[in-house]
A and B are shown apart, each in its own frame.
Chain A
Amino acid sequence: MTNSLRCPTRAEVVARVQAAGRRVAAVLPYHYPRALLRAHGFHPVEVWGPPGVPRDEGGRHFQAYTCDIVVRATSFLLRGGLDGVDAILVPHTCDALQGMGSVLGDFVRPTPPVLTLYLPRSRRPVDHEFLVAELRRLGEALAAISGRVPAPADWEAAFAAEDAADRALADLYARREGLAVTDREFYTVVRSREFLPAEDFVALAGSLAAGDPPGGVPVMLSGIVAEPLDLFDHLSAMGARVVADDLASGRRRVYPLQDGGDPHTRLATRLLGGPPDPTRGDPIAARARHLREQMGAAGARGLVIYDPKFCEPELFDVPLLRRHLSAAGLPVLHVEVELTGSLTQQTLTRLEAFVETLR
């Protein structure tokens, strides 16, 4: 490692936060209002599977073609992995996650209360209005658990902390070419935003040393989540370097920030202001344009769309995205993986062959 990164685990963070007297909310992917949770006294810790947890127990509640994030997260919960959290938040990111919210609430009925957040599928004024109402409803549900209705000072403190962390994330991407870090290190820090307290994230992101990043064939990564992190070691060994991303667990959550006003309205504006995204029903042309611009700015020679199997929002877009980008002379590779904690030989061969074509 070019930096001596020390990033705690999710379990360590949960223990530390709870020892400090704060509540923990387990949050499923991937758009949700961090400042709202914080203002109500909750620290969000995201659950992306986790990879490697067997599908068996969760699989009893879903069709065989339900994605790994939903099934493995349900297995994780049934195995006691979420014991001790104070709430489970399931945003309506896709039909599978909406189904998970219903299954947990109606059938599994875990001890922590299950909260939902219905995210609109577009960005019209009426969607904004709907989301404001949803955020108020979520806030009321959180207040019912914590007994804490945020005062203006609580909102102010929450926005100050979370805005600083969002700025640090945006800054991390902006400084990317001037950081002496491997892809693995970069994404270790990016993904620590999923569970570190905002202040710790700002400190970690700021600790990365300036310098030249390692070389390699520049590629852009799109999709949901780059699991396992070994992916970056493999890409590096293949002679590639990730210079930009459009990952749900990454760049798609660099939101524009707003100052002042009603907190729910402010949060709704923020959540609906991110880059084009398949879970928001954005037109393919908008997504293709965004990807072309990102690739052009970063000098990426090809795009790897890296998805968990059966990820419907992603799969709907892939054929047309591929067509748009190929027409613009940008090679695209789509790989689907199971979140088992390791990569299959077929996946590695696809990636390596793609890198070979880009040389």
Chain B
Amino acid sequence: MTGAAAIGVDAGSTTCKVVAVDETGALLASRLEATHPRLEEQAAGLITALVGDLGPVEPPPVVATGYGRQLVRGAARRVTEITCHARGVFGALGHGGTLVDIGGQDAKAIRIGEEGRPIDFAMNDKCAAGTGRFLEHTAGRLGVAVADLGPRALGATAEEPISSTCTVFAESEIISLIGRGADLDAIIRGLHRSLVGRIVAMARTVGLGPPLILSGGVALNPGVRAMMEEATGMAVILPPHPQLTGAYGAALIALEG
């Protein structure tokens, strides 16, 4: 594999992603790993491995993003994930819109302009509510695999309301629901509704408008997608590689120099 013109690194809180693009911006290769505590070494290792995948080429320029962007050695620039996600979505889809990115420990809503620049954005605070961690934590509590959450939410014939979007308080509610014999799938459906409600409220602060685009690991959850469509009345569009959007945007920025 040759022709790599730029590399993007998204050193996220839950996963670390690296992607390489050619001079036209087409994605050539990628790697994704759960984020290690020693992020600096991990990012360097991933870049080395990716360059190895690409064959004997000069290491291309690197742009880093994500919460650990300052730890990425050798990065020509460090750009926030807001800008990189906007650029990544625009590069992948060719248009702007409202991007909702639900990552492991943060969620953001970004209104993307016609040139792929973020016009406005909102992010969750320190609280993990409304993020992938919310689903991951409660899935663990329910003994359900994360990948099964979406299908089970969609397959539920009933829904238990989860009033709190706080991860800790929601867990207390779940314990109460389990204690009174509530159906597990109905609880899972309620959890999705709670998360989507919070995300949509955040997206409305930036002027939620079509097209609605979803990225991040949680974009792979069909239950979240379906409920977002239901809550907003808009079709949800996914970029080709939802988890790599930030890293892809970083690579495109690196390509632009």
List B contacts of A352 (CB < 8 A): 80
B93-120 interface with A by 8 A CB criterion: 106, 117-120
B82 touches A346 (CB 8 A): no
Q: Which of A336, A344, A349, A357 contacts B81 (CB 8 A)?
A: A349
A357 touches B67 (CB 8 A): no
Q: Which of A326, A331, A353 contacts B80 (CB 8 A)?
A: A353
A350 touches B83 (CB 8 A): no
A344-B121 CB under 8 A given contacts A349-B67, A352-B80, A353-B83: no
A303-359 interface with B by 8 A CB criterion: 326, 331, 336, 344-346, 349-350, 352-353, 356-357
Q: Which of B119, B123, B125, B126 contacts A357 (CB 8 A)?
A: B119
A346 touches B106 (CB 8 A): yes
B68-84 interface with A by 8 A CB criterion: 79-83
B47-87 interface with A by 8 A CB criterion: 67, 79-83
C-beta contact mask, B173-213 vs A, less than 8 Å → 1, else 0?
Answer: 00000000000000000000000000000000000000000
A346-B119 CB under 8 A given contacts A353-B83, A356-B80: no
Number of A-B pairs, beta carbon distance below 8 Å = 36
B114-153 interface with A by 8 A CB criterion: 117-121, 123, 125-126
A356-B123 CB under 8 A given contacts A345-B67, A346-B106: no
B123 touches A349 (CB 8 A): yes
From B106, which residue of chain A is reached at the shortest CB distance? A346
Report the bound CA distance from A336 to B79 in whole Å: 22
List A contacts of B79 (CB < 8 A): 356
B82 touches A356 (CB 8 A): yes
Q: How large is the interface on A (under 10, 10 to 19, 20 to 34, 35 or more residues)?
A: 10 to 19
Please give the distance in Å from A196's CB to the nearest CB on chain B. Answer: 35
Interface-central residue, A346, A350, A352, A357, by most chain B CB under 10 Å: A357
A344 touches B83 (CB 8 A): no
List B contacts of A331 (CB < 8 A): 119-120
Interface-central residue, B80, B82, B121, B123, by most chain A CB under 10 Å: B80
Q: Which of B83, B118, B121, B123 contacts A346 (CB 8 A)?
A: B123
A349-B82 CB under 8 A given contacts A357-B117, A357-B118, A357-B119: yes
A356 touches B83 (CB 8 A): yes
Q: Which of A346, A353, A356 contacts B125 (CB 8 A)?
A: A346
Report the bound CA distance from A336 to B123 in whole Å: 12
List A contacts of B106 (CB < 8 A): 346
Please give the distance in Å from A317's CB to the nearest CB on chain B. Answer: 15
Please give the distance in Å from A301's CB to the nearest CB on chain B. Answer: 13
From B85, which residue of chain A is reached at the shortest CB distance? A353
Please give the distance in Å from B123's CB to the nearest CB on chain A. Answer: 6
Report the bound CA distance from A346 to B105 in whole Å: 11
B118 touches A356 (CB 8 A): yes
Report the bound CA distance from A211 to B203 in whole Å: 44
A350 touches B118 (CB 8 A): no
Please give the distance in Å from B71's CB to the nearest CB on chain A. Answer: 12
Report the bound CA distance from A326 to B119 in whole Å: 11
List B contacts of A353 (CB < 8 A): 80-83, 118, 121
List B contacts of A345 (CB < 8 A): 67
Please give the distance in Å from B170's CB to the nearest CB on chain A. Answer: 18
From B120, which residue of chain A is reached at the shortest CB distance? A331
Contacts A349-B81, A357-B121 known; 6 new A-B pairs at CB < 8 A:
A344-B126, A345-B67, A352-B80, A353-B83, A353-B121, A357-B120
Chain B residues in the interface with A (C-beta under 8 A):
67, 79-83, 106, 117-121, 123, 125-126
Can you name 8 A-B pairs with beta carbons within 8 Å? A346-B106, A346-B126, A349-B123, A353-B80, A353-B121, A357-B117, A357-B118, A357-B121
**Top 10 closest A-B pairs, CB basis?**
A353-B82, A353-B80, A356-B83, A352-B80, A357-B118, A349-B80, A345-B67, A356-B80, A350-B123, A353-B83
